[in-house]
């Protein structure tokens, strides 16, 4: 029996966080670990929305901090499932910062995470296929395969060393 496909828009997540003093380092910049936590949460929600299952983080690609996010700014996290493989799926998260006083919005970070759907006993299970519906979703879908191949090559090199 063929599994049904689910459109990308059904998994999309938008989260907004205000950067408070407890979220920052001595320079008043958002802590990298706090941003990573928010990225992981947004991606977990997107993967669970898609699969209708509990999903766990399997890997996180490198994170590049494009510019600091300051105390008092708003962090906007936009998460979406890019591609489903079998039990794993890639979720992309785009991070924007917004200065509420000036209205300036900047791209601050992007991350790709791999999540695995699990059943009640913690065993990986297949997820529904993903159905890209426009050119941008199709590009992200195609790019996810290349990133997955890169991840698998790196994993293979790391386990043979």
Sorted by where each begins, the domain ranges of the chain are 5-160
Query: Mean pLDDT, consecutive 10-residue segments, the chain of 161 residues?
Result: 80 97 97 97 98 96 89 98 96 97 97 96 96 95 93 79 59
pLDDT at 160: 66
- Burial letters 39-76, b for 16+ CB under 10 A, else e: bbbbbbbbbbbbbebbbeeeeebebeeeeebebebebb
* This model's pTM is above 0.85: yes
CATH class of 5-160: alpha beta
pLDDT at 14: 98
């Amino acid at each position: 029996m063929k599994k049904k496909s689910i459109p990308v828009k059904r998994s999309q997540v938008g989260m907004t966080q205000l950067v408070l003093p407890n979220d920052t380092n001595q320079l008043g910049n958002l802590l990298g670990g706090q941003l990573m936590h928010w990225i992981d949460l947004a991606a977990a929600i997107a993967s669970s929305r898609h699969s209708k299952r509990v999903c766990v983080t399997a890997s996180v690609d490198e994170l590049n901090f494009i510019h600091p996010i300051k105390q008092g700014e708003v962090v906007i996290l936009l998460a979406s499932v890019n591609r489903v493989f079998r039990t794993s799926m890639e979720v992309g998260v785009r991070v924007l910062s917004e200065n509420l006083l000036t209205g300036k919005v900047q791209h601050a970070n992007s991350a790709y995470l791999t999540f695995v759907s699990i059943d009640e006993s913690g065993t990986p299970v297949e997820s529904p296929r993903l159905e890209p519906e426009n050119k941008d979703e199709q590009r992200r879908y195609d790019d996810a395969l290349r990133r997955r191949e890169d991840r698998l090559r790196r994993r293979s090199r790391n386990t043979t060393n």
